[in-house]
Amino acid sequence: MDNCIFCKIISGDIPSATIYEDDEFKVILDRFPSNVGHALILTKKHYANIFEIDEDVAGRLFKLAVKVSKNMKDVLNLEAMNIVQNNGEMAGQTVHHFHLHLIPRYVGDKVSVKWEQLDLTDEQISEVQSKLKMN
């Protein structure tokens, strides 16, 4: 992917503050973090988003997220942690190469991960449930 900034980070053409690397993943510090320690887990292979990523790769990526999170908890004086993963421009994705955000939270920080809540009726919930039900 010639024009992908994360592919360039993976190939080493663009430098990054790497905190972990293996055959499939690279974990880097976000260059414009929401908080100190904000890290990104990148797949080495280019998948644009959740709709393209291989399921097994995603499974291994999340196992790694658990390890990185536990290490962050041990090393940083964090209070909590947000895991964020944006898919598509409307959802806030700016780099279209799959990545998971690990955002450590500290008491009194200014990070906000919030949305307005809808007050759906039971019928509306049932309708969407029947559309989405998977067996």
Q: Between residues 78 and 99, which has the closer beta carbon with respect to ligand 5GP?
A: 99
Query: CA nearest 18: which of 66, 53, 59, 68?
Result: 68
d(CA 4, CA 13): 11
At closest approach, how far in Å is the CB of 64 from ligand 5GP?
A: 17
At closest approach, how far in Å is the CB of 79 from ligand 5GP?
A: 21
Q: Which does 86 bind (CB under 5 to 8 A by kind): Zn ion, ligand 5GP, none?
A: ligand 5GP
Sheet holding 25-29, edge to edge: 18-21, 25-29, 39-43, 99-105, 80-84
Joined tokens for residue 56 = 């097994």
Residues binding ligand 5GP: what is the number (CB under 6 A)?
Answer: 12
Please confirm, yes or no, whether 96 is among the known catalytic residues.
Answer: no
Site for ligand 5GP in 14-33 (CB under 6 A): 14, 16, 28, 30-32
Long-range own/partner contacts, residues 87-94 (CB < 8 A, 24 or more apart): 87/49, 87/50, 87/51, 88/49, 93/49
Q: Which does 80 bind (CB under 5 to 8 A by kind): Zn ion, ligand 5GP, none?
A: none
12 binds ligand 5GP (CB under 6 A): no
d(CA 101, CA 41): 7
Interface residue with Zn ion among 26, 97, 99, 101 (CB under 5 A) is 97
Site for ligand 5GP in 65-94 (CB under 6 A): 86, 92-94
* SS3 (DSSP) at 44: coil
Known catalytic residues are 99
